[in-house]
Each structure stands twice: as structure tokens, then as C-alpha cells.
Amino acid sequence: MKQLSAIFILVLFAINLSAEENPKPKKKPYRKDAINVYMDADSYMKKEVPFINYVRDIQDADLVVLGTYQSTGSGGGEYTFFVDGRNRFDGAKDTVKFNTYPDETDEEARQKGVRTLKMGMMKYMINSPLADFIDIQFTEPIAEEISTDKWNNWIFTTRLSGTLQGQQAANGRAIQSTFSAARTTQVWRLNTGIYYNTSTTDYDYADIVATDKREDSRVYGDVVKSIGEHWAVGVSSDVFKSIYSNYDLGFVAGPAIEYDVYPYSESTQRIFRFYYILNYGFNNYADTTVFLKTKESLWSHKLNASYTNFQNWGTINCSAGWSNYLQDFALNRFSLGAYVNVKIAKGLTFNMQGGYAFIHDQISLRKGDASVEDILLSRKELSTTYSYQTSIGITYRFGSIYNNVVNPRLDVLF
């Protein structure tokens, strides 16, 4: 019996020794097993979320991730990732969001984006071969008490800055200060602030000696109330001063109303809004205007329409606006604007932006001709009946469908 026990022990030892000499092959992650994702990702995102393939064309994607951004009442932002399934995930749809705050650094915001994208990918990774290499952690205990907001959603921001710059023929100095207070809830949006900016630049070149001085200031405020998912009403006021536009003191105030064809809850994906503003204004001019006015009171109104759509195939935004002074409809302005970024075919993208304005409402223009210095230094607003700007571009990418590698070495050369 003792002999049998000894033999049994020796057999177990041999088996164990054999297992140690021939360990079970360790599994490895392979790029071919990763999910193909099409999204606009920077180098940081690609480095921190390495378990997906960042493909360069939408036709090769299993998931399309569209990112959008909206400012929040706190001065931060709301980022949204819309996830749309294709190929093996056809029909799947998800939405994940995260918020940033004004006192957070860029690095903290980037880390939030990485964590949110990772969590959004987990339901798609769970059945993939790479799931064996993913570990999920919960880093902080849950607080049992719910804290209250002693500020009641109010956010205050103040800023003061000064600038000095110069060279042999010119030197300049500037001071800028701002203060704002805002409160944003689902029902109300309140915003008020003060802005002041002054700058002086002295030129001394050959026989040319000139000084360019600019001064702008504002005190503004607005109150907006939501009325359901499609309507909003509000009132705004603005007191301002501008040397460039010949306003020694200006004041404007009035009500506004807005209608959005789509629910406001869908504003991160699409907006189709119309708004109307009626304003009363009083202007005290720095110099006599081309209409021989030194001060005047007037009424004006504005009607604007804009449409924005964020989709996997690209982004479209267009707008149109009309405004005029009620005492003379000939004093009017009509403006058009558009931005388009569309994926035409595999690897081929078309983008265009532009705007045009028909201008007939420059009531504050100074009487008399502008000097050469005024024109070259843009010290005074000049008479015009139109303004425009446009750009058009096309981009074509081809080659490998993958775009995962991050290599920052000597990137200063490019």
C-alpha cells in the first residue's frame, strides 16, 4: 500500500513538472479582432483607446461615432457621442454624454472624453475576442449624502488682462476686462455681463507718424424662458460704446421669440429654428453721421432662420436673416450663410463655407471722407453695400483603412 501511495505521488509530481515545462500558451490580442470604428479622433484618443481600429473611411466601419458639442450655462460644455452601428452591428444605436466645467483643464476634459468613449464601446466589446483583455474598475466610494448647490446654478466669471507688444517702427498696449453672471436651468436662462477693451498702437516709420486708438465697452443682459420642447421667449438689453462704429453711447432693448421645428432635446443632432426680435434703441454718436444726426431714437426688428444637421455623412448649416429700421424700410440688411462638410464617396470629402450680406443700414457712419490712415488702420467703419466671404475645398484620402498608430517624434517638422 505504501508503495502504491509513493507511486501515485511520483505520478502527480511528474504531471505537475510536465505542466510547468509546457505551460498553456498565453492568449494575445490581435488587431484583426478589434472593432472598426469611424470617428474624428485626435492622437490622444487613439493612444488612450487602443482596442479599436480607427478606420479612415465610413464604408469600412462597424461603428460610426459622431461627436457634437454645446456650451452650457456654467461656462463649460456638453459633449455627445452618437454611436451608429453598421456591418456586424447594423441597426445598433447609442448616445453617451459627458460634461466639462470652466475650472477644468484641457487634460481633465480629454480624460473625460476617453472614459466616456470607453464606456460607450463596452457593450460592443463584450462578445469580441479582445474582451478577455479589458478590466473595469470603480475608483471612488459612493457618497451617501446628496449635496445641494448653494449657488443655485449661478456661475460668475471675471477676467482682466493686459498686453504690451512692439518693434522698431510700432508699439502697442491694450487692456481688456470682463465680468459675467449666468444661470441656466431647463426652464430659464439668465445672462448678464460687462465688457471693456481699449488698445493704442503708435506708428513711427520714415515720415509716417500715426496713432491708432480703439475703445469698446458693453453692459448687457438677457432673460430667456423655455415654453415646452419647441418654443422660447425672452427679453434682452445692451448698452455699448464703440469708437470704430461712431457710438459714444448706444442702447437697445426688446423682446424676442423663437420656434424650433425639432424638439430642443435633439439640438445636439439637428436644429431648425426661427426667431423674431423687436428692439427699441437710442444712439448718441461721437461725430455727426451721414444723416446729419448727433443722436436719435429708433425702432428695429429682425427675423432669422437657421438649420443645422449633424449626420454620419457630414454636417450642414445654413441661415438667413432680415433686419430693418421701422421708420424707414430702406434702411435694411439681408444676410445669407452656409457651411457644408459632406462625405461624397469613399475617401472623398467636400467642404464649403461662405456668407453674403446686402447692407443698407449703416446709420452711424461718420460724415465726411475717411483719411488714408483711417482706411489702412481700419480705425473707422467704411461705407459699403455688401460684404462676403467664402472658401471651398475637397479632400481625398486613400491607402490603408487603419489609422491607429500614434507617433509624435519630430512632429515639429510638419
Is the domain of 108 the same as that of 243? no
**Do 239 and 119 share a structural domain?**
no
**Of 132, 148, 168, which residue sits at a domain end?**
132
Q: Is residue 389 part of a domain?
A: yes
With beta carbons less than 8 A apart as the criterion, state whether 183 and 73 touch: yes
Residue finishing a domain among 112, 132, 152: 132
As a whole number of angstroms, the distance between CA 397 and CA 348 comes to: 7
Residues 277 and 389 in one domain: yes
User: How many independent structural domains does the chain possess?
Assistant: 2
pLDDT of 143 reads 59
CATH number at residue 81: 3.40.50.10070
Report the 10 Å Cβ neighbour count for 258. Answer: 19
The answer to whether residue 7 sits within a structural domain is no
Contact 295, 285 (CB under 8 A): yes
For residue 107, the enclosing domain spans 31-132
Domain contains 357: yes
Does 120 share its domain with 250?
A: no
Cell numbers of 195, please? 465688457
Same domain, 124 and 236: no
Domain end position, chosen among 132, 151, 167: 132
Instruction: Report yes or no on 104 lying in a domain.
Output: yes
13: Cβ contacts below 8 Å, ≥ 6 apart: none
Tell me the pLDDT of the chain averaged across its residues.
85
Asked if 373 and 249 sit in the same domain, the reply is yes
Q: Residue 179 falls within a domain, yes or no?
A: no
Local confidence pLDDT in tens for the 414 residues of the chain: 555 455 544 544 554 545 445 555 556 777 788 889 998 888 788 888 888 888 878 888 899 998 888 887 667 788 899 999 988 898 889 998 988 887 777 788 888 988 999 988 888 888 888 888 888 877 777 555 545 678 888 888 999 999 999 998 899 999 999 999 998 888 899 999 999 999 998 988 888 788 888 889 999 999 999 999 999 999 999 999 998 899 999 999 999 999 999 998 888 778 999 999 999 999 999 999 999 999 999 999 999 999 998 877 788 999 999 999 999 999 999 999 999 988 887 778 899 999 999 999 999 999 988 777 777 767 788 889 999 999 999 988 777 666 655 566 666 565
pTM of the complete model beyond 0.85? no
